[in-house]
Structure 1
Amino acid sequence: MTSAPLLARPRERADIVIVGAGIVGLAHAVDAVRRGLSVVVVERDEHAVGASVRNFGHGCVTAQDGPALEYALDARAAWIRLAKEAGFWVRECGTVVVARADDERAVLEEFRDRRGDQVRLLDRADVEARVPVGPDAVGGAWLPLDIRVNPREAVHALASWLAAQGVRFLWGTAALTIEPGLVRTARGDVAATAVVLAAGHDLDRHFPDLADEAKVERCALQMLRVRAPWDRAVDPAVFSGFSLLRYRGFGGCPSLSAVRARLEAEHPDLVAAGLNLMLTQRPDGDLTLGDTHVYGRTLDPFNAEVLDEAVLAQAARLLGTGPLRVVERWRGVYAASPDRDFLVEAPLPGVRAVAVTSGVGMTTALGLAPRVLDDLLA
């Protein structure tokens, strides 16, 4: 028996069809379900394997600024609620920023003056009570609003919960073309009143002119999983002075220029590589460690071992340990744009292309999605 021709297959129908089952796509599915809408999610892989499972699992709320901070605060509440409903691990544990120089401590003092109770300054003893640190730590800050999930669990648990709410997932199904009210897939057509394209950096596979206009490219991150060098639990995420250069929330602090100048003089290659020296502890005790940043529309497939070695050396110094044992290495890839933190565009009637183009999808997507659907479904 031969299969029916593609165009003869019955269409799926829903109020909204979402292309992409990463956190941005799932965030829109969550909000659509809350509105009582029927949802179909089209995902080319058999489960999420992209940026949404390759990250620190860090809800980096406090270090955001502007709209990103608004989205992050809403997303924080959504993560905590969904963890209870979908049954995945979450920690309301905050972030410890370790200052290893007086200029870094000055930035944190200025940040506290701007954010008030969202930032609590720590002396060295306070830092050590929360995180093992090396001898050059001079103090730090605790950002109590930040949260953590296990990214290798949370996104899959969220998809399973959505399926239990009636969301129809078409796994292993490539979206071929997107039209007003219609997504043509490798398994047939899906008709809907509204369409959300949440394919991240693959925006250029569907709307290349839009990607060109928004200067969307791919950002590759080298990340590692290492054995914890001590037998203790570290609940908060851990930032370093390099992290101060990566997040917009610190951008208005007058002392940041001194930190940048010093780190560029001491570690020019690492600053050029966009190092955000940070770590989180997984539920099994291992540490997720990283990360460096390389940008391009088409990325070379090769990781530079010298960058991994530098990250490991810097992390060992930050924590005051000997050499760290690597058990996994991987590359994260996400959409990035020098012009904007978020892309929300209407390339066609009834269609929204949505991407977090600043590397904070886990932090903000659950807050961004309701605003997108408010506009799309108006």
Structure 2
Amino acid sequence: MTSLRTLLDQVDLVVVGAGVVGLAHARAAVERGLTVAVVERDARPLGASVRNFGHGCATAQDGAALRYAMAARRIWLDLAEDGVWVRPSGTVVVARAEDELAVLREFAELRGPGLVHLLDADGTHARVPLGDGVVGGAFLPLDVRVNPRQAAPALAAALAARGVRFHWSTSVHTIEPGEVGTSRGTVRARHVVVAVGHDVDRHFPGLAADAGVRRCSLHMLRVREPHPREIEPAVLTGLSLLRYDGFTACPSLADVRARFERESPRLLDAGVNLMLTRLPDGDLTIGDTHAYAADVPPYRAEELDDLVLAETAKLLGAPSLTVRERWRGVYASAPEPFLIATPAEGVRVVSVTSGIGMTTALGLAPEVLDDLIP
């Protein structure tokens, strides 16, 4: 057995976790000219960073998240030069009821014409092949799509080419000022960033409890595109209006929620955010449901998959959908959208606790390092 006192590496910054949040901090540090090591328990990224929609949903954020998301958007587009699959495809928000369209009108007033383009029913159908019942929509041109299965591995490869040292399949046992003890030895560093997503409680249980961190589990599916026409933008729906903070200031949002409570309470009970994105091969990632608990149960309810499939088929006007893959996504959730904590001198714990890590991490990380490394 390797002694924890064996020196594995010595750098300016060690990052624990090779998800998108950890990689964002590694990139921000390299941009500053620092030496960086990343320690990851798995052999490659396997967590929330590869199980999501790959949707950089910048426009629908609010507050600090909006600032981080807009900064991250610019970085994602730059990363295309490093081999990361990125498309500035925008987002179509589909309105299938007049109250949803009212929210989009109010949102357009808040954000302005450069960020939100209102669409009538024909304009919405022209951008996305949809079923009946569409009354209008909005196009958010600044949103981006990445390939979630490729983005984190490609970013890691680009960082390795710039000198970041990755210690894969290496578990972290201890985290102290200036030192991280791992299953392969000790990494010494002036600064430490812990970016382990929902596993904050595995290292700092008290901190996680104080912040109210729980695990949010999602039902997601990959289906064959039912139409010959490609769907280029990401697609959100009226249920999405209830889940993104940018819409909370819209007065008509209460009417949308009340209608779903009357007509489709099962969708709200399952925490459905009906949305989809296209993968590079043409298949669609669809979902998703939301359930919150301290731990994720091992059992998947088939009825939740059936619910998502039925609602997506109705949205697309398809008689049925062919499922290629099913999986459970998991991310950290807490009352505040971001957890940034200092459990010890020179150590930062960073977790995006709102399901928008792909959207915000690359913009969040430079601000964290501004504070950690003045």
Could you state the TM-score of these two structures normalised by the residue count of structure 2?
0.99
* Aligned position for 2:311: 314
2:228 & 2:85 partners in 1: Cα distance? Answer: 21
- Partner residue of 1:113? 109
**Shift of residue 276, structure 1, vs aligned partner:** 0.3
Q: Which residue of 2 aligns with 1:366?
A: 362
Q: Distance in 1 between matches of 2:351 and 2:313?
A: 34
Contact preservation (8 Å) 2:271, 2:290:
yes
1:329 is aligned, of 326, 329, 335, to: 326
Give CA-to-partner distance per residue, 1:10-48, whole Å, 9 cap, x none: 341000000000000000000000000000000000000
The share of aligned pairs that are identical, in percent, is: 62
Code of the residue aligned with 1:226 in structure 2: it is: V
Q: Tell me which of 164, 189, 210 is aligned to 1:213.
A: 210
Q: 1:64 to 1:7 in 2, by over 3 A?
A: closer
Letter in structure 2 aligned against 1:362:
M
Counterpart residue identity of residue 155, structure 2: L
For residue 289 of structure 1, what is the amino acid of its counterpart? I
- Preserved CA contact (<8 Å) 2:4 2:182: no
Q: Does 1:153 align with 2:150?
A: yes
Aligned residues, how many? 373
Gap regions ≥5 residues in structure 2: none
Corresponding residue SS for 2:145: strand
Question: What amino acid sits opposite 2:88 in the alignment?
Answer: E
The residue aligned with 1:99 is 95
Q: What is the DSSP-based 3-state SS (H/G/I as helix, E as strand, rest coil) of the residue aligned with 2:150?
A: helix
Deviations 1:182-214 (A, max 9, x none): 000000000000000000110000000000000
Letter in 1 for 2:37: V
2:235 maps to a residue whose letter is V
How far is the alpha carbon of 1:296 from its aligned partner?
0.6
Structure 1 runs of 4+ aligned residues shifted over 2 Å read 7-11
Q: Secondary structure at the match of 2:180?
A: strand
Q: 1:291 to 1:204 in 2, by over 3 A?
A: same
Residues 124-162 of structure 1: per-residue CA shift (max 9 Å, x gap): 111111101111011100011100000101110000000
Partner SS state of residue 152, structure 1: coil
Q: Look up the match of 2:283.
A: 286
> Structure 2 CA distance, aligned partners of 1:341 and 1:89?
26
Superposition RMSD in Å: 0.8
Are 2:251 and 1:232 equivalent residues in the alignment?
no
Deviations 1:279-306 (A, max 9, x none): 0011100000000000011121111111
| TM-score (structure 1 length as normaliser) | 0.98
Letter of the structure 2 residue corresponding to residue 336 of structure 1 = S
Aligned match for 1:241, one of 234, 238, 242: 238
1:59-78 aligned at under 5 Å gives the runs 59-78=56-75
